[in-house]
Amino acid sequence: MKRIALFVVTNLAVLVVLGIVVNLTGANRFLSAQGINLPTLFIFALIFGMGGSIISLLMSKPIAKWSTGAQVIDMPRNATEVWLVETVRRISHKAGLPTPQVAIYEGEPNAFATGASKNGSLVAVSTGLLQTMSREQAEAVLAHEVAHIANGDMVTLTLIQGVVNTFVVFLSRVVGYLVDSFLRRNDEESSGPGIGYLVTTIVCDILFGVLASIIVAWFSRQREFRADAGAARLLGSPQPMMAALRRLGGMEAGELPQNVATAGIAGRPGWMALFASHPPIEARIAALQQR
């Protein structure tokens, strides 16, 4: 499944791995040894769910660099890199932000912004985008990514992901307890959760996590509209962003690795649109035309 989730896939992986560890080490037993305690379970789920999303947030920038092969520009080596760093610096200053790290990676046209805070963010651009777009169009894409940082999208996404994680963990264990109780309804000798609880919670962590990702993807699509609007404000006109989107609509946007997909620039057709991190380009252009 292509392009489903920087944050969503990383978070889901963290959530599932932590769930397996908790189950295998027996840490879940206090939740159901003497019957499930819903208030205790909810507190556990809140800590566990928010923990998974926070870990994903803290991992976002190093994983993005590693998975794309992005190279941070410490000292510009050519005119393109000089322009890139200066343009990001200028737009960031206009947005009231410190200059983020700027990186380039090899690939088809794409770009993303990530990082755990406004003071520790990264803007990365592909060589394909720099080679196929005009400076004005590329500047609009950079403004879009800076707008993501200015809007605090990664932190907001973390909070939303943490909330849905909480309900994933909570509901998975409730279902696991009910299934385990049903399977052992005639067994009065055993106590604590059994294999039914272990298997059911792991399966539900995955299934509910996928459903939760639809909610997170919907929010991600809304933040793209806001970032487009933010780019229009930073540039003083929606026209450059519209031109950049039209250019992107006429080319095949590069596929980002899954763990940075929600930070990229393209959407998905068909039923996979439910999982798309970005709206259709036509819808984004139409929204800018109404400004």
Is-catalytic flag, 145? Answer: yes
Q: What is the DSSP letter of 186?
A: T
Q: How far apart are CA 207 and CA 107, in angstroms?
A: 32
Please pick, among 81, 106, 139, 145, the residue that the annotation labels catalytic: 145
Q: Are 278 and 265 within 8 A, CB to CB?
A: yes
Task: Give, in order, the Cα–Cα distances in Å from 158 to each of 95, 155, 188.
Answer: 22, 5, 43
At how many degrees (to 10) do helices 153-183 and 38-68 cross? 130
Residues in the chain, total: 291
Q: Is 192 exposed, middle or buried (0-12, 13-18, 19+ CB in 10 A)?
A: middle
Positive or negative CA dihedral for 200, 201, 202, 203? positive
What's the per-residue H, E or C state across 68-91? HCCEECCCCCCHHHHHHHHHHHHH
- Catalytic residue numbers read 145
